[in-house]
Structure 1
Amino acid sequence: MNALARTETPILAGPSQTRRQAARDDRDSARLLPGLLLAAGIAAPAFALRHLPGLSSFSPMIIAIVLGIAFHNLVGTPAAARPGVAFSMRKVLRFAIILLGLQLTASQVAEVGATGIAIIAAALVATFTFTVRLGRLIGVDQKLAELIAAGTSICGASAVIATNMVTKAPDEDVAYAVACVTVFGSIAMFVYPLLPGLLQLGPHAYGLWAGASIHEIAQVVAASFQDGQQAGEFGTVAKLTRVMMLAPVVIALGVAARQRAKSSRAAQSSPAAPMPWFVLGFVAMVGINSLIDIPAEAKAWIVSLTTFLLTMALAAMGLETDIRKLRAKGLRPLFLGLAAFLFIATFSLMLVKLLG
């Protein structure tokens, strides 16, 4: 009889468990809503502000993190919003990075050619390695150095926040790294168009150089199209190819973090760094976009949605950033960002001149 009761109990409790789970889901959704609305409420004006004179060259992601930092330090992030803000920085970000894969196809990568891909990959690896090692030499925290390295060598703010899913650096480190890649990427955006004639670079070579070395996609587009349509189109494709390399870099960093955690005595009581499976989703979306012809209208909508979700994630990052902690970092990370920018610019130019 007791055995029968034990076997029947889970069956009888099923509907009750379902109702309790539904109630918990409702409570979780209600807890997330204030933070999600706040992050979206900052992301929306960031899109609008980029249409103002002087701000059109900045991505809405950059504007959003500035607005988020200003709100947090002048007004204060409400306690009720914190769960939704944290959700935006993690779950929303992962989903946006997966959708980012729909902006690239295998055929676009093929247009760059084997030599172009080799130049982009070599510049990325060399810059990342140089930045991390220089950071160690000048006393910059390893996690912050890795974020600056990722943002400089791959794709600016998007790479910084994607890399942080593995490095787990403080939000102030993320904000500092985003600031570095924004400042020096913006300098490149204005300086690069002055150099093709001086450096004797044709449209193809200049586009490849811009795509292989400038930080943000928007900055590459702005700089490369200054030298004409051909340079602009090739620079954009080269940059998207560089974005594709986000996947192996983040996976490699995840594996390295797991190995460090396993070998550390302090990590015995804490879980190892998670494998960034969302990056595999990014690769899967590239494959889908390569095999399926997505209508232009749908693709434009997806691109806008992806940018908005990334902007929400950066707004959430700003809402967790304390300026006092940023100041405490000092000028050494800024110097590291400058050195990384100069390295990728000169190293990639050398490769373009020799091989491109």
Structure 2
Amino acid sequence: MSNVVVLDNGGGLCKAGIGGDRDPSAVVPNCLGRPSSSKKWLVADQLQACEDLTSVSLRRPFDRGYLINPDLEKEIWDRIFRSLLRVDPTASSLLLVEPLFNLPSIQRSTDELVFEDFGFRSLYVADSPSLVHLYEASHRPDGLISRAQCSLVVDCGFSFTHAAPVLQNFTINYAVKRLDLGGKALTNYLKELVSYRSINVMDETFLIDDVKEKLCFVSLNVPRDLQIARRPGKDNLFRCTYVLPDGVEHMKGYVKDLDEAQRYLTLPDEAWFPSQGMKDGCAEVPEKPEDRKRIDLTKNEFNLTNERFLVPEMIFRPADLGMNQAGLAECIVRAVNSCHPHLHPVLYESIILTGGSTLFPRFAQRLEKELRPLVPDDYHVQITTQEECMERGFTSCI
């Protein structure tokens, strides 16, 4: 067995394993949680094993993407190393993935954790973009990324999104651009939408995370989809129902009808939609207020319509929500323009997506559609995606 421990210490999830393994041995929440029915704080995998996570209180060692509570992180790492990996830190080395632009004070706190509290023999610290580039180059040795040793890594993480150019396995720090949006902000926005329109779920972090991962998708034609979402009944291809846990028959929430939730896939990627007030070439009859479906608060469920694509839309149009931030496509263009002009065509042709928020259906297609008008016509835009991108940072460490 290898004596190298690999730890991708993200703000939302910790991915940990042993050097040489293909997949991480543990993927656990990087937090402590206390369910409303318990007085005990649960750590990492204990949260995953808990049946009732209704209104769970959370304590996270990370805030805005950086470590702020080393004592809390120590408790989580101790659970991972001793209970899940079953390794002896004093006989092992650690490969640690840390966020870009980590502050020196945080680096010193991390060093104290690694050497003084756990007693690791040695430590190697790396950032996510360089490891993702290394993995992609080694995974496809005949590809452009391997031959040019250059790529642009788009990392949509828990707290923020980075567009990071990488050259010869080193991140070009001066060209990295950051978008202050990540999976946490998307979950919070979905909480607000559901709470305002249906039922109060502001305390249901894990539940809304599940809703986001199962039901949200990226729209390729937002004006068209907004009109479709206003249709009543079965004409609304986006309407679906999510059932909340009742604490008796089922302890986890679930999608009521999976086929209903997938109906949006029948829409063409790019289709002309009739102007407002028109439906299939005919005048659309406006919906009467008395015909609108009222919310039945006695039922343990809620409906989603345009929330399903408005939440991921934040990444591409943060200004629509009043945020003074550029969209992801503009963020990528600014990162490329910060590099030497000779690298521009190669960077646009070797974009790599990583992070949980890139797993939304049609994310890559929408990003390419947004990038194309901003990129010179003689440049190719090529976006690489992988299903295992949540674990890619871990895999590339091996």
TM-score band, normalised by shorter chain: under 0.3
**Which is helix-richer, 1 or 2?**
1
Higher strand share: 2
- Return the TM-score normalized by structure 1: 0.24
Q: TM-score normalized by structure 2?
A: 0.22
Higher relative contact order (CA 8 A, sep 6+): 1
